Amino acid sequence: MVETGHHQHPPAPAAAGYPPVPSMAVNRGPTWAPAEQLHHLQYCIHSNPAWHETVVLAFQQYIVMLGTTVLLANTLVPPMGGDAGDKARVIQTILFMSGINTLLQTLIGTRLPTVMGVSFAYVLPVLSIIRDYNNGQFDSEKLRFRHTMRTVQGSLIISSFVNIIIGYGQAWGNLIRIFTPIIVVPVVSVASLGLFLRGFPLLANCVEIGLPMLILLIISQQYVKHFIPRISMILERYALLVCLALIWAFAAILTVSGAYNNVPVATKQSCRTDRAFLISSAPWIRVPYPFQWGTPIFRASHVFGMFGSAIVASAESTGVFFAASRLAGATAPPAHVVSRSVGLQGIGVLLQGIFGSITGNTASVENVGLLGLTRIGSRRVVQENLAPSLLLYRLQSLEAYTVYYLELLLLLEYLLYSLLTPIR
């Protein structure tokens, strides 16, 4: 009798003398939409927005990285004796190497959507080098700048082997096996709060620009989308670019109208849009090349100071890797992957020393905070961020002091999220 119901036929018995043939189909499990993997996500690590959205989101990641880069260059280059042209070339070198290191990490490192930016852990050793050469032993400031940069190069080259050894030697992987959420969250929080001491005081230097930027970004990204649902998606993804354009136009209007003509020099330097001279000093196209400042100088006293910075930068990157995996909807990286990425970070520091960067690299905290703000965890967005880093040399020298004020909101947003959402 033929069955007409929905019952399945039992499998046919195997032929006598022959074992059953295993099925060739591989059960990969159900495929879930990004929203079902993690409720706050719109695109997870393997999901890709449309190409035009990807380009805009990548440029937004670049703008956030640009703020930290310009902040570091403004902190270190003038005490070295460098002028505006030297500062522009340092910024170009940093961003070029950040693009290379980000490409390496997203392809053969953790493969998470993390941007490899500058590390403030190297600021103190670099300031120590600057202090040693600040005794009037050079005939000109240009010579002092180049000699200082050559010493920084040598120290970065030697200190990079710390990351390479502890990374590829699996020592760092054995250490992070004891990392739990109660350890990871404070590490990321401390790494985030460390930037407040350098970025937030700049807000007080120009309150009429920085405070409206913060207020506008908070209102547009967190509240306006609830009252105007039609533009909620645009504000949620692109609020940073919209607010930056509006505040930059506001600062340009104040500059042109003469609002800062009769103010102190410090206020002009912080608020006017024509005081950095980076755009006029930067070449349109310039490709950094190895040992561009001269032959590296190796001094033991400076190298040992960089060793500690290399370990601190590794700890920062480790916390950021765990945070990025959570915000991108990926599984937490295992110990051997993090250890491999730390070793790759050491190779990046080695390249930065060879090409003449002013500091080492680490996973960017503010760019991971942007993942939480935009709810876009796509790896392709971060990879396309390389195009501005590697090609748009003129844009690397924007006099965008207002970018500093973005980091306060980004770090605060991520800090709150990391404390309220335990990393599983």
**197-217 per-position pLDDT tens digit:** 666 676 777 888 888 888 888
Mean pLDDT, residues 160-170 taken together: 93
CA atoms within 13 A on the CB side of 314: 32
CA quadruple 67, 73, 74, 75: dihedral, nearest 10: 110
CB contact burial 393-420 (16+ within 10 A = b; e otherwise): bbbbbbbbbbbbbbbbbbbbbbbebbee
The tens digit of pLDDT for each residue in 319-368 reads 889 888 888 888 888 989 999 999 999 999 999 999 999 999 999 888 88
In this prediction, residue 47 carries a pLDDT of 82
β-pairing, 361-363 vs 116-118, is antiparallel
Output 332-338 pairs: Cβ under 8 A, ≥24 positions apart: 332/423, 332/424, 333/110, 333/112, 335/173, 335/174, 335/176, 335/177, 336/170, 336/173, 337/110, 338/110, 338/172, 338/173, 338/176
Q: Name the pLDDT band for 9 (thresholds 50, 70, 90).
A: very low
Closest-CA residue to 117 (of 414, 352, 384, 394):
352
Residue 279 reports pLDDT greater than 50: yes
In this prediction, residue 196 carries a pLDDT of 65
In this prediction, residue 276 carries a pLDDT of 67
Alpha-carbon separation of residue 84 from 87, 276, 278, 284 (angstroms): 5, 7, 6, 15
In this prediction, residue 144 carries a pLDDT of 93
Q: Which of 72-76, 213-217, 298-302, 406-410 has the lowest mean pLDDT?
A: 406-410
d(CA 26, CA 65): 42
In this prediction, residue 41 carries a pLDDT of 76
Q: Name the pLDDT band for 261 (thresholds 50, 70, 90).
A: confident
Q: Report the percent of the chain where pLDDT is more than 70.
A: 75
d(CA 352, CA 344): 12
Name the residue with higher pLDDT: 294 or 193: 294
- pTM for this entry: 0.78
Mean pLDDT, residues 376-403 taken together: 60
Residue 45 reports pLDDT greater than 70: yes
Element spanning 116, H or E: strand 116-118
Residue 396 reports pLDDT greater than 90: no
Residue 98 reports pLDDT greater than 80: yes
Residue 258: CB partners within 8 Å, gap ≥ 6?
none
Radius of gyration of the chain (CA): 25
Residue 53 reports pLDDT greater than 80: yes
Mean pLDDT, residues 169-174 taken together: 89
Residue 127 reports pLDDT greater than 80: yes
Length of the chain measured in residues:
424
